[in-house]
Chain A
Amino acid sequence: DTGVSQDPRHKITKRGQNVTFRCDPISEHNRLYWYRQTLGQGPEFLTYFQNEAQLEKSRLLSDRFSAERPKGSFSTLEIQRTEQGDSAMYLCASSPTPGQGEETQYFGPGTRLLVL
């Protein structure tokens, strides 16, 4: 296992278009997190999954955002009707379930989104 992977690495889209990002976590990790990072800021939590269950969504996540982890493995994050304010780096991270020893979150390389 080579770590957390994300696809695509870069996405340029026009305002109003839909985009979908994919995250493949470390295979034995139950937890999967999505974060968003804008320039000069630390990442902000968006949502997370325990296996296939989505446990929480941040208030930052408007109704245009949806995330899935259908089989408890990879996850997708979809943004509908993109806006220029959605331009950011979208980061995925995975970890074992907290409280079960190793709790380090491992991050993927991110998907950089630019909405024109």
Chain B
Amino acid sequence: KQEVTQIPAALSVPEGENLVLNCSFTDSAIYNLQWFRQDPGKGLTSLLLIQSSQREQTSGRLNASLDKSSGRSTLYIAASQPGDSATYLCAVPLGNTGKLIFGQGTTLQVKP
């Protein structure tokens, strides 16, 4: 059974810091891994999708890495800003069905 875990559950950093969010999954036979952002009371916004054949993906100040063999992914945020404050969720599809298994999320607060 695929399980996805995110550590830490919450993180508070001063503005300008670089930070890393962690995601682990128990079944390494994944097709891809997706990182999302969720603002309070809102839906999910897709940030990055890494295919199983890729090691990393970059978008602006965000960089996501994937190590299938160890069952881990990281989301690196460079030069954090108060606007980055949100909950970050990682998810993997179950087999090739597309239905996503989510972690519990990491709630990030960036203080001015």
Please measure, in the bound complex, the distance between the C-alpha atom of A93 and the C-alpha atom of B105, giving whole angstroms: 18
A80 and B96 CA atoms in complex are apart in Å by 31
| Contact between B98 and A42, CB atoms less than 8 A apart | no
CA distance A35 to B41 in the complex (A): 15
Instruction: Report B-chain residues with C-beta under 8 Å of the C-beta of A56.
Output: 97, 99
B96 closest partner in A (C-beta): A98
| CB <8 Å contact, A48 and B98 | yes
Q: How far is the CA of A4 from the CA of B44 in the complex (A)?
A: 11
Stretch of A11-19, A63-71, A103-111 on the interface side:
A103-111
For this complex, 20 residue pairs linking A to B, each with C-beta atoms less than 8 Å apart, are A4-B43, A33-B98, A33-B99, A41-B104, A41-B105, A42-B4, A42-B89, A43-B44, A45-B99, A48-B97, A91-B43, A95-B98, A98-B97, A103-B32, A104-B49, A105-B34, A105-B98, A107-B45, A107-B46, A108-B43
Interface bracket on B: 20 to 34
Bound together, the chains give a CA A42 to CA B36 distance in angstroms of 11
Distance A115 CA – B41 CA, assembled complex (angstroms): 17
**B44 shortest CB reach to chain A, Å:** 4
Chain A interface residues toward B at CB < 8 A: 4, 6, 31, 33, 35, 40-45, 48, 55-56, 91, 93, 95, 97-99, 103-110, 112
Q: Nearest CB to that of B101 among chain A residues?
A: A45
Query: Given the known A-B contacts A40-B104, A42-B105, A98-B97, are A104 and B46 also in contact in the complex, defined by CB atoms under 8 Å?
Result: yes
A48 touches B104 (CB 8 A): no
Chain A CB within 8 A of B76 CB: no
Q: Which 8 A-B pairs have the closest CB atoms?
A: A42-B102, A107-B44, A98-B98, A109-B43, A107-B43, A45-B99, A110-B43, A104-B49
Is B78 positioned at the interface, with any CB of A under 8 Å from its CB? Answer: no
A104 close to B34 (CB less than 8 A): yes
For B98, give its contact among A40, A43, A103 (CB under 8 Å): A103
User: Measured between C-beta atoms, what is the minimum distance from A84 to chain B in Å?
Assistant: 20
Interface status of B21 (Cβ within 8 A of chain A):
no
